[in-house]
Amino acid sequence: MILIILLLCFLVFLFHQYFWRRRGLPPGPTPIPVFGNLFQLSGSEAPGISIFQKWKDQYGPMFTFYMGPVPFIVLTDYRDIKETVIKDGETYADKYLSPEFNIYFRGGEYGIMDISGDRWREHRKFAVLQLRELGVGKPLMESKILIEAEEMIRKLKTAEVIGEEFFLQTEIDVAVGSVINQFLFGYRFDESKLHEFVKIKTLVNNFMEEVGKPLGVLAFTCHGIPPFIVKMMVSGIEEQKRELFGFLRAQIQDAKVRINYEEEHNDDFVEAYLRKKYQREQNNDFESYCDSQLENVCFDIWAAGFDTLANTLGFLFAYAINYPEMQVQKLIHQEIDEYLGHHRRLLTMSDKNALVYFNAFANEPFLNFVALHQELFQHIRFKDNGFSAMTTSLPMTQFTGVEKILISPLYNATDYSMVEDLVELRRKLIHLSEIRTSDKFLTGLAEQKSKRNYNFSKRSKNQMQSLNVFGDRQRLVFQETQRLANILPMNLPHALTKDVELKGYHLKKGTGVIHQIANVMTDETIFKDSYRFNPSRFIDEFGKLKKIEELCPFSMGKRQCLGEGLARMEIFLLAANLFNYFEVIHDRSLFA
């Protein structure tokens, strides 16, 4: 009898979740009990982009799909997204994430990325203020980024002299990590601190991999799961959680020992936070600013700011070396040479507006990193496992597939085991075997079975048409990279703060809404031939950079990336200066 009652209760639950509840929602694919549409999502060639495009074509620009038992409304039309996050931003400002997961992982509703309400508003405002106060958009931060650019150039030239191998992607990672760490803790990762960088990068990546697995997705998004079950669902992050927050606590404790609360000047974010916390405590406010919140904000800044930016920079070079027939580097070098003349020097932010082609190049891959050769490139082969909803270790924010796809944008990934073998080599994509005296350094893909992939890449590249652009070019290249290598193919879900009418549907408070930016940036009505790498789309008939409103790789509205200004500075100062001094080409000896 008890079993019959339990079965009836379960059937009533299924009826409510998957039939009665769906009546008032936009149309969408039929979910299966418990798992929803996760299997369809995991079976798509490109998570987020291709399956959402299929559903958009079938159900319209607004549809419903289920992650587990939870329905989410997906908006894929730019006008609808703008109408919601810009004109009615407060209604769509909350995050739809599991409070039980936050209790387990964060110790409560802490941080910036995964919380809502007054604490989120206050601490986002504080973080934006500190980015400005600590130099973003100013010479202070520019000088710190240029130190990293100079260090990479120095290492390259040293490698030329001694004949040493040089892994450019690794150095890009260190440079990006150093900038973040200087902002947070006041020091960069020099030789004596490299072990710290390797540790925190590994911990963050491992955490993202675990929560990107199917059970992790459910634990991350489903409300009402008891904390002890959440812990079992994501048990793989226990060690990462302990070590990662142990590292952050140690840095914060060091800052507490050094700080003089009587001074007003802040050297880094943690100092600024501790002073703010001290001021609040003098007024008997011990809740707003606390150690747990500081630890989680530091985690959010590291997790959100590192891999996205490092991989975007990697794509700049990946596109440049994989399509020599498009003469991207020739046009970049020509533009820099014409601008600087015979006086070679480091490029600064004051030079950015003059370098049109480079900026447009970087915009294109930001739109969609899996766009090139969609039919030939078997994206599904890059999935972590057969049931994963992601193509990489990184979860709902989906910096997906970048590290693995970065092995080559034209990789013939028909052998999944081959891709697994090469995952450990992903950071060695841009690999120095030799630096010629003409300041060229050779780069290449790496190791096993690479001859087959080179032949595939060569066949695919022969289909590409040459790019023929004249006039100012640099900013053009920058924009096209941002468009075509979009690091966020599926956006994090928001939650409604109140009941709302949207396109004829009554949506209740708390409903999850996904603003699918990736599909906007591959919309054929906006970006013609969107699956073709083409920086010229961002240049007008006068040779000037064309502003396209729908290009929004940092999202928009109240949840827009708070580090956008810093990211844009790093992309320009690091990449433009490497192109300023070097040419990046394939090391063909790897295929001999």
Q: Which two tokens stand for residue 577?
A: 């200066």
Neighbours of 440 (CB within 10 A): 14
Q: Which residues contact 21 (CB under 8 A, 6 or more apart)?
A: 71
- The residues, ordered by sequence, that sit 6+ positions from 157 with a Cβ below 8 Å of its Cβ are 435
C-alpha closest to that of 81 among 62, 53, 55? 62
* Spatial separation of the C-alpha atoms in residues 159 and 167, rounded to whole Å: 10
H helices of 212-290, where? 214-221, 227-233, 238-258, 269-282
Query: Which DSSP string corresponds to 142-163?
Result: HHHHHHHHHHHHHHHHHHHHHT
Amino acid at position 251, single letter: Q
3-state SS, residue 72: strand
In sign, the C-alpha dihedral spanning 196, 423, 410, 43 is: negative
| Secondary structure of residue 440 in the 3-state scheme | strand
CA 335 – CA 356 distance, rounded (Å): 9
290 is known to lie in a ligand binding site: no
Which residues touch 392 (CB under 8 Å, ≥6 apart)?
Answer: 209, 212, 382, 384, 398, 399, 400, 401, 402, 403, 404
Residue 166, beta-bridge partner list? 432
The string of DSSP letters for 361-389 reads HHHHHHH-TT-TTTTTS-GGGG-SSTT-S
Amino acid at 243: E
Q: How many CB atoms sit inside 10 A of residue 463's CB? A: 9
Taking the C-alpha atoms of residue 534 and residue 486, their distance in angstroms, rounded to an integer, is 14
Going by their DSSP bridges, the two strands 583-586 and 94-95 should be labelled as unpaired
- Binding-site members are 561
- Binding-site members for heme are 561
